[in-house]
Structure 1
Amino acid sequence: MVNSTHISYFILGAYFETGGFKYLFFLIVMCLYVCIIGANVLLIVVICVNRSLHEPMYLFLCSLFVNELYGSTGLFPFLLLQILSDIHTVSAPLCFLQIVCIYSYASIQFCNLAVMSYDRYLAICFPLQYNTYMTSKKASFLIAVSWLYPFITIWIMVSLTLSLQLCGNTINEVYCDNFSIVKLACSDTTVNNVYGLIATFFLIMFPVSLTFISYMRILRVCFSGSKQTRQKAVSTCTPHLASLLNFSFGGFFQILQSRFDMSSVPNMLRILLSLYFLTCQPLFTPVLYGLKMSKIRSICKRVLCGEV
């Protein structure tokens, strides 16, 4: 038995020999990363430089786009290096740093979406009192909590993993995963498993539940309101719900894959699904909001055409 601090590297066992296709895969992933960076940076700049967008709803969107950049940076440079490399290893400190980055990205995403659903609930159900309930100070506080709370929770989780004694260093993933490392432990992992379940509930299930409660109340108001109210609800809530469902699909599959035996699933399909919420969501979100929200769409057109 060796302590995890004595392990200098981990082996990523999910990679397979691609031969000459690795350069094609590298080019595809690189193009995807460039598109993600460009789309999210464009919308962040649009929101920051236009005073008409300095409203709580757009501040929450800006937080969402920043988180997409953060999560992408935690995966794509690492993934690009691994595609070109013949030896798929990662140093232990970098592995744990990637766990913190990816796990906190996913948790912040769910918290951001919950906060945004609450904001839409206030705007649609209490339109006259909205500016009183959702001030800039309150919006900033909610954004800060959405970032700090996941970071603290994830750091505790990783600290518990660092204290384990490990019997191996091979992870059957294409990136570092906390539970995959916990499964390598020779020592008792009861505390890790219990804390992992509690953290999953408060970082994922709780925000998702709050999101759906907010939308249930929005729907109730829409059915009893005017046609204008229903149109406003549909135009502002559709991107949020689509983003939540898309991200939840990828995130929950990864949780199931790490917790249960998925050997019956083809390896290539398992890899693609494990990467789905980390690769498609950062591009899906800015495209969805950029196309759906007319105010952002019109300003983006002006910026791209050189009018601003």
Structure 2
Amino acid sequence: MDNVSVETMFFLSGLNETTNYRVALFFLTLQCYGLVLLVNISLIVIIIWDKKLHEPMYILLCTFCVNELYGTAGFYPKFLWDLLSPAHVISYSGCLIQALVIYSFVCTDMSILAVMAYDRYVAICQPLQYHSIMSKQRLIKLVCFSWLTPFCSTVINIFLTSRLQLCSPYIARLFCVNWVIVELACFPEQTTGSGVVLYLTVIIYVFHGFFIVCSYMYVIKTCVNSIENRAKFMQTCVPHLTCFSIFLVTVVFNVMYLRFGSKDLPQTVQNFVAVEFIVIPPIMNPLIYGFKLTKIQNRILGVINFKTK
């Protein structure tokens, strides 16, 4: 028990090797965050502004973009501050809040993608019942599910983590995540509760992934013999599948590296692997939807043409 301490501050060591090019990295990160804000807010404003886009698919897309803004807000501002600060520290409560935001952001992304897959399944496989199934009331319930379920599971995980006794204030990453904090626990037996909840959460979202894959497999099977359905699939389902693939690859790669990756890799490579899931999807997803969905593309072109006149 002599080595047990009550940590009030954490030291983030992921930036230790960036001293020589920290200013350049700051401006690059600032541009990246600006692009995230621009593409996501633009899509949100377009969907809210155009009443023709007040349909379940576009409302879910709007919710998706809001979550991208929520998740990146948990990373970029603190990271930008650290790039200009001599000491890379974060308070204990701030670390837990950051872990809560990033953890719930990832889970919510998966939930929204699952609801989007269900929406496309109904639209293509049961088109005559689409408006009755995807009613306003059901849409509200699905949006609430996609937000509240991940948030509640994350709150439970963070609460259990906050009860651990920690033996080190050093986090070898650019930001706080729940499983890294758990690794700092003094006594492995203390982590049993948080470990069980964490694995249950992983299992739940693995089933989300299976649901998405099965939904699109059924949709593809339905589209094979119909030219109209094939066109609808290419127009509305391909963006969802692309975004799901990007999200899945970045998150799985991050988790696999966290569990099994070598610590001997250069710090720059470790940093890239650590942040890719919160950097790449929030930029790529709105761009994919903006370029692929015809209604949104037409609205964007209409705005551009209006400004050039």
Q: Where in structure 1 are there 5+ consecutive unaligned residues?
A: none
Check whether the contact 1:250–1:274 (CA below 8 A) recurs between aligned residues: no
Q: Say how many residue pairs are matched.
A: 305
8 Å Cα contact 2:110/2:209 also seen in 1:
yes
Note if 1:72 corresponds to 2:68.
Answer: no
User: Residues of 2 paired with 1:288 and 1:186: CA distance?
Assistant: 45
Runs ≥4 residues deviating over 6 A? none
CA shift at 1:99, angstroms? 0.4
Give 1:195-214 correspondences, 5 Å limit: 195-202=197-204, 204-214=205-215
- Work out whether 1:217 is the aligned partner of 2:249: no
Aligned equivalents of 1:250 and 1:150: distance in 2?
19
- Aligned 8 A contact 2:235 2:294 in 1: no
CA distance in structure 1 between the partners assigned to 2:131 and 2:59 by the alignment = 14
Question: What displacement does 1:258 show?
Answer: 2.9
**What is the one-letter code of the residue matched to 2:93?**
P
- Which residue matches 1:169? 169
Structure 1 distance, partners of 2:91, 2:181, is 13
Instruction: Name the SS of the counterpart of 2:186 in structure 1.
Output: coil
Aligned AA (2:116): M
Q: Is the 8 A contact 2:67 2:108 kept in 1?
A: yes
Aligned residues of 1:71 and 1:278 also touching (Cα < 8 A): yes
Cα distance per residue 1:201-239 (max 9 Å; x no partner): 11x21211110010010011112x222211211221111
Corresponding residue for residue 291 of structure 1: 291
Aligned to 1:24: 24
Query: 1:169-216 CA distances to partner (integer Å, 9 max, x unpaired)?
Result: 1111110011111111113212221211111111x2121111001001
Contact between 1:222 and 1:233, CA under 8 Å: does it hold in 2?
Answer: yes
Structure 1 residue 261 displacement after superposition: 4.6
One-letter amino acid of the structure 1 residue matched with residue 193 of structure 2: V
Q: Kindly indicate whether residue 35 of structure 2 is the aligned counterpart of residue 35 of structure 1.
A: yes
Distance in 1 separating the partners of 2:71 and 2:305:
29
Contact 1:12 1:170 in 2 (8 A): yes
Letter in 1 for 2:285: T
State the AA in 2 paired with 1:229.
N
CA contact (8 A) 1:55 1:136 kept: no
Corresponding position of 2:252: 252
Counterpart of 2:102, as a letter, is I
Of stretches 128-137 and 266-275 in structure 1, the one that deviates more from structure 2 is 266-275
Give the SS at the match of 2:127.
coil
Helix, strand or coil for the counterpart of 1:300?
helix
Contact preservation (8 Å) 1:111, 1:146: yes
Rounded to whole Å, the distance in 1 between the matches of 2:92 and 2:257 is: 22
Q: 2: CA distance between counterparts of 1:183 and 1:110?
A: 25
TM-score, structure 1 normalization: 0.95
Residues in 1 aligned to 2:291 and 2:261: alpha-carbon distance in whole angstroms: 39
Contact 2:17 2:267 in 1 (8 A): no
- What is the RMSD of the two structures over their aligned residues, measured on CA atoms? 1.6
Tell whether the 8 Å contact from 1:3 to 1:163 is kept in structure 2 after alignment. no
Per the alignment, residue 138 of structure 2 pairs with 138
Shift of 1:111: 0.4
Assess if the C-alpha contact under 8 Å between 2:4 and 2:186 holds in 1.
no
- Quickly say closer, same or farther: Cα 1:71–1:3, change in 2 above 3 A: farther
Aligned partner of 1:158 in structure 2 is: 158
Question: Could you tell me how far apart the structure 2 residues matched to 1:265 and 1:147 are?
Answer: 36
Letter in 1 for 2:220: L
Contact 1:43 1:300 in 2 (8 A): no
SS for the counterpart of 1:10 is strand
Equivalent-residue separation in structure 1 for 2:179 and 2:130 (angstroms): 42
Q: Is the aligned partner of 1:180 residue 2:180?
A: yes
Aligned to 1:9: 9
Partner of 1:280: 280
Question: In the aligned structure 1, how far is the partner of 2:235 from the partner of 2:256?
Answer: 33
Q: Note if 1:190 corresponds to 2:216.
A: no
Distance verdict in 2 for CA 1:3–1:241, change over 3 Å: farther
User: Given residue 220 of structure 1, which amino acid in structure 2 is its aligned partner?
Assistant: K
Q: Are positions 1:50 and 2:50 aligned together?
A: yes
SS in 1 for 2:90: strand
Deviations 1:97-134 (A, max 9, x none): 00000000000000000000000000000111111111
Q: Structure 2 counterpart of 1:259, which letter?
A: R
Deviates more, 1:189-198 or 1:96-105: 189-198
Which amino acid is the alignment partner of residue 130 of structure 2?
Y
Q: Secondary structure at the match of 2:10?
A: strand
8 Å Cα contact 2:65-2:286 kept in structure 1: yes
- Contact preservation (8 Å) 1:56, 1:139: yes
